[in-house]
Every structure is written in structure tokens, then in C-alpha cells.
Amino acid sequence: MSSPRTVAFHTLGCKLNFSETSTLARSLEEAGYAKVRQEERPDVFVLNTCSVTENADKECRRHVRRFLSINPDAFIAVVGCYAQLKPDEIVSIPGVDLVLGANEKFDLATHIDQRIASAHHGQPGPKGEAIHSPIKDLKHFVPSYNTNDRTRTFLKVQDGCDYFCSFCTIPLARGRSRSATIAETIKQVEAIAAAGVKEIVLTGVNTGDFGKGHDQDFLQLTEALDEVEGIDRFRISSIEPNLCHDGVIDLVAGSKRFAPHFHMPLQSGSDVILQRMRRRYDTALYAERVARIKERMPHACIGVDVITGTPGETDDEFLRTHEYLRSIPVDYLHVFTYSERANTTAVRMDESVPMETRRERTRQLRVLSNKLQRAFYQRHLGTTRNVLFEAEENEGRMLGFTDNYLRVTMPYDPKLVNRITPVELNHIDGEGHIIGRIAQHESANCVIS
């Protein structure tokens, strides 16, 4: 009896991609493949790509070359957003055997088997094959979650987007907004809870748009999840400010399980630029949402996505963004440098910003982010918060996160792994982590599991 084919995965991009890679891995294992590490010379490599990544083509080629250096005879399949957008470009890369679009990727095992069987039977054909369909044909939702971390799981509750912002290719790569029902989502949550996971991060392309086509909405989902036993924490990975309404904020504020942590994309602090981006809010609404969160939860953490250097962003518009971010009580920034994307409105706009200017603006906002995060951490020193510790040991220490997203480090103790533990937050170390210790009224034998 021959041994099963082995497969290894590499994922680029967002949390959504990581959750989908885990689902693809489970489907291949169910089809008889054995998942291994990349360095173990697998028979098959699967690359899950991202279209947001700058220089996506170079990234893709670099990883294909690396796979071939590990095993020159490996079968290489490429999936993900970039595979939907540029399938013919990818299949021309030497060494790529199969490219699958968004509508085909979840049938990965079948397509690989068919391709390998054709090669074994000597059937003529191109070196590589791209199988994809128009994104408008993509209607179904495939739930996904990652399983490689018992502490925290990313659960895809929504996919696609109807917003068509001027700079973004995601609707072209992932299709229209869609999701499962609340009942179907709860089944996924119950399966994750049965595996011993303590925290679920709800993720999607436009997570707050959950429920399209089912006459349901994101608030109803959060209300239902708040009653599910077995999960200690839910965290919302990202939510658009126009969808982060009072109902959602109030639910989190009074929740048994939802973490006081909001990540709301802003993209620009200039209303002129927001209009050019075709965003569905202005700076006044964004500031109102931030104020509402902090009013209900002063301890809440608020993260912000910002893009620098979009067409038309003058020095004055950038300074307006910088000043705006200093004027509202947000706690960290995810800063992205704008890069042109084919088939978007922004790529056809005038007033392109030189790349060196874009990168300098990114640098300035990342400096600001470090200051905002440091101030947020300092405000919590001397308090006690519950921390969920991770399994990884690094030079005798372990890391974990509070409910409001403070990163805490302590001496490694295996009894604390995957347990929520009250920790006193003492001071900040040289790496920017908070040094903690078990709260004095608690002990390592008396943690909250």
C-alpha cells in the first residue's frame, strides 16, 4: 500500500486567508493527503495568495521558486485573491501546475487529483492549468476557521463586499457580500468550542455586513453568540464605522463574552479623500463612533486602518489626517502605503503621489501609532485584567492578551496556557510588552479556566 501524498501550505495576507487555508487543509486531509511542514519536501505545495500585498506578482514568484528549491518535483497549486484576479499571469510562472479561482478553490483536492491523474496517464496538456469563473458567478458562502492554535481561532462569518471603494480590488477577487445563517454559524462555534479553544475572532471582508440574503444582521449574530457556552471570548476583527452602530457598541459594553476591542477602518482623516475613496462615512461619523465606544467602555481598545498616498492626497490632506488621528481617542494604527491596483477607479485618477512621499507618510503615521499604543498601555499600568496566555515559550517567557488587547508577558508556566488568568499589569519592557504577575488574590492554582 503506497503512502499518502503529502501537502504543505503557505498563506499570504489577512486573517480571512489563514482561516480558509485551514479549511483547505482539512479538506485535503479528508481526501487522504498528509499535511506536513514545508521543509519536509511535500509532494504538493499550496500557496494562498493576497491581492492587497504590494508586489503580489513578485511575492508569488518568490514563493514558487522557494517551493521548487525544496522539492523540484513538487506539484504547485495557487489559490486566493490574486489567483482570481490574475490567473493567466500566475499560471505562466515556471513550476506552477494549477491555479484555482474563488469559485473553484474549495474543490482543491478534486482538481489536484484530476490534474495529477492526467499527467500520469500521459495526456497532453499545458504545463500549468488555470481554472476560474467570473466573480459574478460566485454566490455561495463557505465557512472557514483555523485549527492550528488551541488558544485563538479566526472564524470567517462573512465574505465578499458590495462597497466597491475606489482603491480596492476585494469585490473583484471575492465577489458580493454573503454569509451563512446565524444557526449555521453557531454550529461552527460549537465545533470550535469542543476543540478547547477559548477565544474566537470573528472575521470577514466586511464583517458588519453579516446576514445579507438571510434577513439577519450582525447585531443579531452577536446577541446569539453571546449566549453560546464554551467560548470565553469573542473578538470582532474589523467593522466599518457606518455598521458599528449603537446597538453593536452597547451589546459589547454589556456582554458576557465580547471583548472591548474595536478595529474600525478609517483610511483617511480628510473628508475630501474619503469622498474620492468612495467610503460610506465621513470624519464626523467616525469621531462620533469612537466617542460612543469610549463613553460606554473607557478601557476599550480602538484600532484604526489608514492608507497613505492615495491619489489626490496633498501635503495638506495628509496633515489633516495626522491631526485628526491625534484629536480622537484611538489606540493604535495599521498603516498601509497605497499601491496601484488594476481595474480600480483610483488607478485612473490624476494627482498620483510619488512613492517616496507615500512611504515617508507611512513612516510618520507608524511613529504616531507607537506613541498612541504606548500611551494606551501606560494608562492601564497598576490595574488588573484577565489575560489569555498562549502556548509558545520564548526564552523562558510566555505572552498573552487582555480582553482589551494589551500584550502581556510573564515567566513561562505551562499551567497558564489557554487559561484566562487575572494579572496585575506592572510596567512596560523594552519590547513594548507589559510585564505582569498573577494577581495577589489569585494563584497559579486558582485561575479562571
Q: Stretch 112-136: mean pLDDT, rounded?
A: 76
pLDDT digits (tens, 9 = 90+) for 159-214: 999 998 888 888 888 999 999 999 999 999 999 999 999 999 999 999 999 998 89
The domain that contains 150 carries what CATH number?
3.80.30.20
Q: Where are the alpha helices (DSSP H) in 301-435?
A: 315-327, 355-379
Q: Are residues 285 and 337 in the same domain?
A: yes
Q: Are residues 367 and 393 in the same domain?
A: no
- Segment 430-437 long-range contacts (CB within 8 Å, at least 24 positions apart): 432/370, 432/373, 432/374, 432/377, 432/407, 433/399, 433/407, 433/408, 433/409, 434/377, 434/380, 434/381, 434/406, 434/407, 434/408, 434/409, 435/408, 435/409, 435/410, 436/387, 436/408, 436/409, 436/410, 437/410
Percent of the chain with pLDDT over 70: 95
Given 136, 163, 184, which residue is the final one in a domain? 136
Is the model more confident about 107 or about 120? 107
Residue 58: its pLDDT value, please? 84
Beta strand pairing call for 6-11 and 44-49: parallel
Q: Are residues 193 and 44 in the same domain?
A: no
Q: Are residues 250 and 303 in the same domain?
A: yes
C-alpha cell at 87: 490567473
Q: Are residues 146 and 256 in the same domain?
A: yes
How big is the CA angle at 166 (ends 160 and 168), to the nearest 5 degrees?
40
Given 70, 101, 136, which residue is the final one in a domain? 136
Is residue 335 very low, low, confident or very high in pLDDT (cuts 50, 70, 90)?
Answer: very high
Q: Are residues 251 and 207 in the same domain?
A: yes
Number of helical (H) and strand (E) elements in the chain, helices listed first: 13, 20
Q: Stretch 363-373: mean pLDDT, rounded?
A: 98
Residue 443: its pLDDT value, please? 42
Q: Is residue 418 part of a domain?
A: yes
pLDDT digits (tens, 9 = 90+) for 403-412: 999 999 999 9
Q: Distance between CA 190 and CA 230 in Å, rounded?
A: 8
Whose cell is 507607537? That residue is: 370
Q: How many CB atoms lie within 10 A of CB 446?
A: 11
Q: Is residue 423 part of a domain?
A: yes
Q: Is residue 20 part of a domain?
A: yes
User: What residues does 48 pair with on adjacent strands?
Assistant: 11, 79
Number of compact structural domains in the chain: 3
Whose cell is 449603537? That residue is: 246
Q: Are residues 68 and 129 in the same domain?
A: yes
Residue 168: its pLDDT value, please? 86
Is residue 446 very low, low, confident or very high in pLDDT (cuts 50, 70, 90)?
Answer: very low
Q: Stretch 245-264: mean pLDDT, rounded?
A: 97
pLDDT higher than threshold 70 for residue 323: yes
Q: How far is CA 351 from the centre of its chain?
A: 31
Q: Stretch 110-138: mean pLDDT, rounded?
A: 78
H/E element, 117: helix 108-120
Q: Is residue 357 part of a domain?
A: yes
Q: Are 32 and 1 in contact (CB under 8 A)?
A: no
Structural domain range at position 263: 138-379
Residue 54: its pLDDT value, please? 60
Q: Is residue 443 part of a domain?
A: no
pLDDT higher than threshold 60 for residue 445: no
Residue 305: its pLDDT value, please? 97
The whole-model pTM stands at: 0.90
Residue 351: its pLDDT value, please? 87
Lowest mean pLDDT among 162-171, 299-308, 382-391: 162-171
Transcribe 399-435 into DSSP letters: EEEETT--EEEEE--GGGTT-EEEEEEEEE-TTSPEE
Q: Is residue 365 part of a domain?
A: yes
Q: Are residues 125 and 149 in the same domain?
A: no
The domain that contains 405 carries what CATH number?
2.40.50
Given 379, 403, 419, which residue is the final one in a domain? 379
Q: Are residues 300 and 155 in the same domain?
A: yes
Q: Stretch 103-117: mean pLDDT, rounded?
A: 91
pLDDT digits (tens, 9 = 90+) for 140-150: 899 999 877 67
Q: Are residues 94 and 228 in the same domain?
A: no
Q: Are 389 and 400 in contact (CB under 8 A)?
A: yes
Is residue 417 very low, low, confident or very high in pLDDT (cuts 50, 70, 90)?
Answer: very high
The single-letter DSSP state of residue 446 is: S
Mean pLDDT score across all residues of the chain = 91
Length of the chain: 449
pLDDT digits (tens, 9 = 90+) for 26-42: 999 999 999 999 999 99
Q: Is residue 444 part of a domain?
A: no
The domain that contains 71 carries what CATH number?
3.40.50.12160
Q: Are residues 204 and 307 in the same domain?
A: yes
Q: Is residue 329 part of a domain?
A: yes
Whose cell is 510618520? That residue is: 364
Q: Are residues 163 and 290 in the same domain?
A: yes
The single-letter DSSP state of residue 354 is: P
Amino acid identity of residue 7, one-letter, is V
